[in-house]
């Protein structure tokens, strides 16, 4: 086998095994972020065909005063995730400023700014 043929085979193997360039991975034109896969879509279609709305069921349980308190609380916990986003931790930067009130004011200001960025 000549050197050229050996080099061509090597390149061909590399293309088959690792089609992406170094530092690049995955299918760049793949499924868009946030789109649902086929199992999720099938599950949603099945729920719809059965006339079942899980959020409605949870809300009914949560509002039914005859249900057990633990069950109502569990339903409320499940519903909260749809209404309020999960909170993220805020790191305090004190940079030598050990005054707690000052650090809290700075953290509060950063929180306000981040909320404005999200909402505005």
Domain boundaries, given as residue ranges, for the chain: 53-86
Query: What pLDDT was estimated at residue 67?
Result: 92
Token readout for 59 is 């809300």
CA 106 vs. chain centroid, Å, equals 28
Token readout for 98 is 């050990």
Q: Please give the Cα distance from 85 to 109 (Å, whole number).
A: 20
How confident is the model over 24-35, as a mean pLDDT?
75
Confidence of residue 49 (pLDDT cuts 50, 70, 90): very high
pTM: 0.44
Query: What pLDDT was estimated at residue 29?
Result: 76
More confident residue, 49 or 96: 49
Among the ranges given (37-46, 56-65, 84-93), the one the predictor scored with the smallest mean pLDDT = 84-93
Considering only CA atoms, which of 76, 110, 112, 105 is closest in space to residue 90?
A: 110
Query: What pLDDT was estimated at residue 51?
Result: 92
CA 51 vs. chain centroid, Å, equals 27
pLDDT for residue 21 is more than 70: no
Token readout for 31 is 């499924």
pLDDT for residue 64 is more than 90: yes
Angle in degrees, CA 73, 78, 82, rounded to 5:
130
């Amino acid at each position: 086998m000549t050197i050229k043929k050996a080099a061509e085979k090597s390149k061909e193997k590399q293309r088959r095994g690792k089609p992406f360039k170094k530092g690049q991975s995955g299918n760049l034109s793949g499924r868009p972020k946030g789109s649902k896969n086929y199992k999720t879509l099938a599950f949603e279609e099945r729920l719809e065909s059965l006339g079942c709305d899980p959020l409605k069921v949870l809300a009914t349980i949560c509002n039914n005063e005859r249900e057990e308190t633990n069950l109502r609380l569990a339903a409320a916990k499940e519903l909260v995730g749809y209404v309020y986003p999960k909170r993220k931790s805020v790191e305090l930067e004190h940079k030598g400023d050990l005054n707690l009130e000052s650090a809290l004011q700075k953290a509060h200001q950063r929180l306000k700014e981040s909320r404005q960025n999200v909402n505005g």
